[in-house]
Structure 1
């Protein structure tokens, strides 16, 4: 990729994030994005099918950055509380981007994508867990339940306090699930 193309893609990304930070994806037009990025619509369409394609690619980049900052994804199985702490640190590392790319109608994309990445990794290394209802339930609770609880309560109680309460909940659920017989 030459320097000019890199600058164009950076301008598109910057303009999109600026516009997306101000309003929902559905309210942004290619025309206004191109004006802000100082490119033609033809140039935009060389790189992206539409705004949803651009948004999806940026979301995938953010999901990859979050997932790759989790240094111990296997802790989701062996140490759920430690995994949960690491997961929230990963979310925090990308918070400004999360707030822009995963708001409004896009809110559910991030936790579902992170959970899918984790499942894929864990099932590659531990295929016996694929049909395990306890593992599946706990992972969904850790990722999706924790995510929504964290972002719903963090402003009111603070990041650390909410994250630690979620960790306590994961620990309690994990102990409870280990104590109860499976159906």
Structure 2
């Protein structure tokens, strides 16, 4: 479905403002003025600035999840999965840097973890209450994400290969 022009303007303007300001400093009035739309138009699509940000973040996480070739590889081949995941991060790096800046920085790994847990649990419901699996997934996603993020200015392939080599876990399925 094609996005209405007004919604597109809202999103483009929000992303432009987010490049230069923390989310807490962006008001609906400022966004609407820069996007040349009425406040009522903004409220057709979003409850507030945080709702807009949340929806864009969720869309980003969904895009990352959908870019994975084989979601089952998180269990069967974590090294390959790591490469796929960080290739997806790399492709969306600019937008990730904008959306998940400042006070929102911890939200990306959190949302990725929750999304991947649900993916794993949909494939293997028996893992849902398995504390060990949940600890491993948490460590895997948070550790890999922060290691990648701290080293993203280095050679991408090298960073991903080092992180992937650390991931040796395979679930017994």
- TM-score by structure 2 length? 0.91
The 8 Å contact of residues 17 and 100 in structure 1, kept in 2 or not, is answered as yes
Tell me how far 1:134 sits from its aligned partner. 3.4
5+ residue gaps, structure 1, are 179-183
Secondary structure of the residue that 1:144 maps to in structure 2?
A: helix
The answer to whether structure 1 residue 8 and structure 2 residue 9 are counterparts is no
Query: Larger relative contact order (C-alpha < 8 A, sep ≥ 6)?
Result: 2
The answer to whether structure 1 residue 158 and structure 2 residue 155 are counterparts is yes
5+ residue gaps, structure 2, are none
Q: Distance in 2 between matches of 1:106 and 1:36?
A: 23
Q: Distance in 2 between matches of 1:141 and 1:160?
A: 21
Choose 1 or 2 for highest CA Rg.
1
Tell me how far 1:45 sits from its aligned partner. 1.7
The answer to whether structure 1 residue 47 and structure 2 residue 45 are counterparts is yes
Tell me how far 1:69 sits from its aligned partner. 0.4
Tell me what 1:116 maps to. 114
Q: Distance in 2 between matches of 1:6 and 1:48?
A: 14
Q: Distance in 1 between matches of 2:79 and 2:129?
A: 22
Tell me what 1:77 maps to. 75
Q: CA RMSD in A?
A: 2.0
Tell me what 2:55 maps to. 57
Deviations 1:20-69 (A, max 9, x none): 01111001111111111000112212221110011111111111101100
Higher helix share: 1
Deviations 1:80-109 (A, max 9, x none): 111111111111121111010011111111
Secondary structure of the residue that 2:152 maps to in structure 1?
A: helix
Tell me what 1:88 maps to. 86
Query: Number of aligned pairs?
Result: 172
- TM-score by structure 1 length? 0.87
Q: Distance in 2 between matches of 1:158 and 1:103?
A: 22
Deviations 1:98-127 (A, max 9, x none): 010011111111111111111112112211
